[in-house]
């Protein structure tokens, strides 16, 4: 199984984040947001009354051929890893 994290942050910011939280997986930098656009996770957001286009926290579970088999939208970190693991075990 391969786990990848993708964000719009720079490689250096991701490196610091990975080290801070001792993450055991790779992080991919999508600074130009091209991957985010392909996967449809660029959404209108609002902060302090101002609207802007941002990345919606989303998880995709892909099969061995790269097909999306499950999607979680509006992800909250707490408990999410367990939820994804349960789905992986169910689909194995």
Residue 10 confidence (pLDDT)? 96
Nearest-Å Rg of the Cα atoms of the chain is 14
**Most distant CA atoms of the chain, gap in Å:** 44
Residue 72 to residue 54: CA distance in whole angstroms: 17
- Are the beta carbons of 35 and 42 closer than 8 angstroms? no
Residue 72 confidence (pLDDT)? 95
pLDDT along the chain (92 residues), means of 10: 88 95 92 95 94 94 90 93 92 76
0.95 cut: is pTM over it? no
Residue 82 confidence (pLDDT)? 94
Residue 4 to residue 26: CA distance in whole angstroms: 5
Instruction: Look up residue 42 and give its two tokens.
Output: 């660029």
Residue 14 confidence (pLDDT)? 94
């Amino acid at each position: 199984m391969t786990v990848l994290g993708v964000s719009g942050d720079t490689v250096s910011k991701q490196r610091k984040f990975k080290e801070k939280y001792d993450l055991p997986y790779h992080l991919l930098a999508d600074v130009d947001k091209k991957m985010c656009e392909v996967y449809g996770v660029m959404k209108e957001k609002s902060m302090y009354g101002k609207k802007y286009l941002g990345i919606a926290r989303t998880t995709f579970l892909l099969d061995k051929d790269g097909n999306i088999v499950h999607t979680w939208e509006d992800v909250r970190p707490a408990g999410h890893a367990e939820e994804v693991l349960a789905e992986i075990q169910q689909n194995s």
